[in-house]
Amino acid sequence: MVDEVRIQGLGVIDEAVLDLSPGFNVVTGETGAGKTMVVTSLGLLFGGRADPQRVRPGADRANIEGRLVVDPGGRVVERVEEAGGELDDGVLIVTRSVSAEGRSRAFLGGRAVPVSLLINLADDLVAVHGQSDQQRLLQAGRQRGALDRYAGNALTKPLRAYTAAYQRHRQVSALLEELTTRSRERSQEAELLRFGLEEIEKVDPKPGEDVELAAEEERLGHADALRGAATSSHEALLGDPAAAFEAANVVSLLGTARNALDAVRDHDPALAGLADRLAEAGYLVSDVGTELAAYAESIEADPGRLAIVQERRAELTALIRKHGVAVDDVLAWARDSAARLGELQGDDGRIEELRAEQAELSERLAAEAAELTAVRTRASERFSAAVTEELTALAMPHARVHVTVTPTGEYGPHGVDEVEVRLAPHPGSPPLPLHKGASGGELSRVMLAIEVVFAGADPVPTFVFDEVDAGVGGKAAVEIGRRLARLARNAQVIVVTHLPQVAAFADQHLLVEKSDDGTVTRSGVTALDREGRVRELSRMLAGLEDSELGRAHAEELLQLASEER
């Protein structure tokens, strides 16, 4: 609820404080006293258009500060915290200022915020019904939401079923769109993968084959040099058995050195150790020589084999150039590509499955949407009748409200229905949208009738009405007061009125009075006690605060309202 509103420099108001209470708050005063500025201030507080002409002449800016009691765990507080604001001892402070040049600033919980955030929060906090304010229920989405909440439990189950089908249909459609629109790209990718895999399969590379072939080509290409080097090394170690005379070689020289040491080894263990090492060296050189002879025998120049190896290496190099730096990279690419090709080929089957599911979901959506339309249509008939009945008691006996439910054929989050509240103000007049079919005063009464019928279903905690009683009086005015009091059982209601019959039903009566210089100051807004209310109602009834007849009538009105509340 709105606990307090401080106004500075707005219209005729120099400075004023409105102390509001739960339930039904009424604001009265002489014509031109600034009552409408109360509604204007609340409109500005919740994101209304900043009109610099509303700034009091001579003032730099108009400032509005509101103190709101909100649910600490509710959505409003969550939005405030997201914006960086915070509560002050459980109270949300909202501030709006408008400069004489038209610049506007907004603060929420102590943090500067865009005015648009105040507008968004207003949906959960207040419904302002004034002559120049944008009406919540004039919005198509709000009218559909209002009807849905009025329909209640009858709509809950089919709406839940429709929502589940709608969300799944969107998911399937999005995936199907992605798969089908990328069909050409997927086909091209699959074709490239197949071509690459066929190339690799044709060459059939083996792990590490490129390394082995490189070594073999190096060996075959230098076969003569390798054999000559091995032969020369062998002869140096063991000698050439085909030579005419035996030349000195490493093995014979090592044998000579060992024999020289063996002759005296018994005389010194150190020398004996050296002799043993010479023996080992001789054995090692002899073994190396033998292996060199075998190696020389194995090396042959084979031009045919060299050509085969070179051709094979060329094939492998062509693959490596495309897929990596080694044959192992080629084989890894082949494994990954085979898996990806399987996925791409599987998409065709997936597309068929999704198309079948999409068709099934479309049938479900059509059925669920039809059920929603049927439920809404039945609820609209009850809602139309209830609001029309309320209008009869609100001095619009010939007015008729029609809530139309029109299937558009376009599936949305809430179905296919377009909901519109229409008003036929007079017999024979066609039902028109609210903003076209009602005058300002009639529109306020239509809104009041809707809010009364809708009381308890709409979560908005505060309602503000300006001139809801325009053009009525007598018994109709009493009925307006009754309905405002009924609405105030479930929400805070703030009403600017000139009718005593309406003011009598209020829980809190605020009087706006101008000072001698024509301004409204802090002391110009007064919360009236019982005696003060009698005087003000007497003034509103007879134009004289101390008229005995007026006071008697005022007492009677207060007594009637008290009994009915």
| pLDDT tens, residue by residue, 522-544 | 557 888 999 999 888 888 887 77
Contact 376, 405 (CB under 8 A): yes
Per-residue pLDDT reduced to its tens digit, 51-97: 888 888 878 888 989 898 888 777 888 888 888 888 888 788 888 88
- Specify the pLDDT at position 160: 92
- Specify the pLDDT at position 133: 42
Cα–Cα dist 281/284, whole Å: 5
Cα–Cα dist 112/118, whole Å: 11
Contact 213, 313 (CB under 8 A): yes
What is the average per-residue pLDDT within 168-181?
86
Report the C-alpha dihedral over residues 509, 515, 518, 520, rounded to 10 degrees: -50
Report the C-alpha dihedral over residues 133, 135, 141, 142, rounded to 10 degrees: 140
Q: Which residues pair with 415 in a beta bridge?
A: 412
Length of the chain: 565
Per-residue pLDDT reduced to its tens digit, 462-476: 888 876 666 666 777
Chain position carrying tokens 């084989």: 331
Tokens of 412: 């949305």
- Specify the pLDDT at position 134: 38
**Range name among 379-383, 451-455, 553-557 with the lowest pLDDT average:** 451-455
How far, in whole angstroms, is CA 78 from its chain's centroid?
A: 15
What is the average per-residue pLDDT within 370-395?
89
A 10 A CB-CB count for 127 gives: 22
Burial annotation 55-80 (CB, 10 A radius, 16+ → b, else e): bbeeeebbbbbbbbbbeeeeebbebb
- Specify the pLDDT at position 132: 46
* Residue 418 φ then ψ, to 5°: -105, 120
Per-residue pLDDT reduced to its tens digit, 2-52: 888 888 888 878 888 888 889 999 988 887 667 777 778 888 888 877 788
- Specify the pLDDT at position 310: 86
State the chain's maximal CA–CA distance in angstroms. 163
Tokens of 292: 């060199």
For the chain, what percent of residues have pLDDT higher than 70?
Answer: 90
**SS3 category, 191:** helix
Q: Is the whole-model pTM more than 0.85?
A: no
* CB burial of residue 423 (10 Å; 0-12, 13-18, 19+): buried
Of 447, 435, 440, nearest in space to 127 by CA = 447
Identify the band that residue 517 occupies on the pLDDT scale cut at 50, 70 and 90. low
Of 168, 171, 65, 150, nearest in space to 109 by CA = 65
The region that residue 96 occupies, defined by phi over 0 for left and psi between -120 and 50 for alpha, beta otherwise, is: beta
H helices of 299-326, in order, are 303-323
- Specify the pLDDT at position 302: 82
Indicate the residue type of 89: D
Cα–Cα dist 70/446, whole Å: 28
Cα–Cα dist 559/23, whole Å: 18
A 10 A CB-CB count for 163 gives: 14
